[in-house]
Amino acid sequence: MLTVHHLRNSQSERIVWLCEELGIQYDLKVWNRREDNMMAPPEYKALHPIQSAPVITDGDFSLGESGAIVEYICGKYADWKLCPRADDPDFAQHLFWFHFTNGTFMTNVMMDMAVMMTGGKAEASIGNDRGERAWAMIEDQLGKTDYFGGRELTSADVMMVFGLTTMRNYIGKSLDDYPNLRAYLQRIGAREAYQRAMAKAEPGVTPNLT
């Protein structure tokens, strides 16, 4: 049986949402962070050598890394649902945003967060210019298509939303200048699968969709 190990307030929420969108059977184990340093507990770190969220187990097999997990679940359990194939007109767009998430966007957000944690301002981050371009690209794309992957929701959206919602809590990014992105997050928040996923993964927490 597929088990999703969700560490509270982490990007493993992506995997819970993915499973709900796909409508597949899975077990969910929710892990709380340590109270002394807010890191993953030792038992969570022992699940996979990467020692960070997300992690899934499937029988005796364990897997880390969001992108790898998303592709594994879509391929093994859902016949590549939410993943446009090469003959789909949205194929290239989907691929770009799927890989942009952790390759560019989350890297910039993490740099901003690191600067702020040391008492600086996000504007001083070495990746600030690149980060601002990334936010501008997001706003531009969502003015052209309803979803990052094109006409329909894809696994690219599953990857992107965490950085636009939960992760944004850490850097205090305002969306006042991003009307297309705000409208997009309202569409995501209206999805029953997203609502179910967040209620299971983060009970009592209101997703940051504004």
Mean pLDDT over 156-167 rounds to 97
Helix orientation angle between 192-201 and 179-189, rounded to the nearest 10 degrees: 80
33-54 pLDDT tens trace:
999 998 999 999 999 999 999 9
State the pLDDT at residue 153: 98
* Location of structure tokens 């879509």: 74
For residue 54, whether the previous peptide bond is cis, meaning omega lies within 30 degrees of 0, is yes
Check residues 102 and 115 and name the one with the higher pLDDT: 102
Domain ranges of the chain: 2-82+195-201, 91-191
For residue 41, whether the previous peptide bond is cis, meaning omega lies within 30 degrees of 0, is no
Fold of 2-82+195-201: Glutaredoxin (3.40.30)
State the pLDDT at residue 107: 84
- Which numeric CATH code is attached to 91-191? 1.20.1050.10
Q: Do 166 and 174 meet the contact criterion of CB atoms below 8 Å apart? A: no
DSSP conformational letter for 8: T
Q: Give the DSSP per-residue string, 161-181.
A: HHHHTTTHHHHT---TT-HHH
Chain centroid to CA 86: 23
**Tokens linked to 131:** 């980060």
Examine domains 2-82+195-201 and 91-191 and report if their fold is the same. no
Give yes or no for residue 125 having a pLDDT over 80.
Answer: no
What is the torsion angle, in degrees rounded to the nearest 10, for the CA atoms of residue 64, residue 82, residue 27 and residue 30?
60
* Identity of the residue numbered 174: S
Mean per-residue pLDDT over the chain, rounded: 92
Furthest CA-CA distance within the chain? 51
DSSP conformational letter for 34: P
Please tell me the total number of residues recorded for the chain in this structure.
210
Mean pLDDT over 183-197 rounds to 98
Q: Which residues pair with 147 in a beta bridge?
A: 150
Residues contacting residue 209 through CB under 8 Å, at least 6 positions apart: 165, 185, 186, 188, 189
DSSP conformational letter for 104: I
| Predicted confidence band of residue 124 (pLDDT cuts 50, 70, 90) | very low
Mean pLDDT over 160-176 rounds to 93
State the pLDDT at residue 102: 94
Q: Is 201 helix (H, G, I), strand (E, B) or coil?
A: helix
**Tokens linked to 208:** 């940051």
Q: Is 55 helix (H, G, I), strand (E, B) or coil?
A: strand
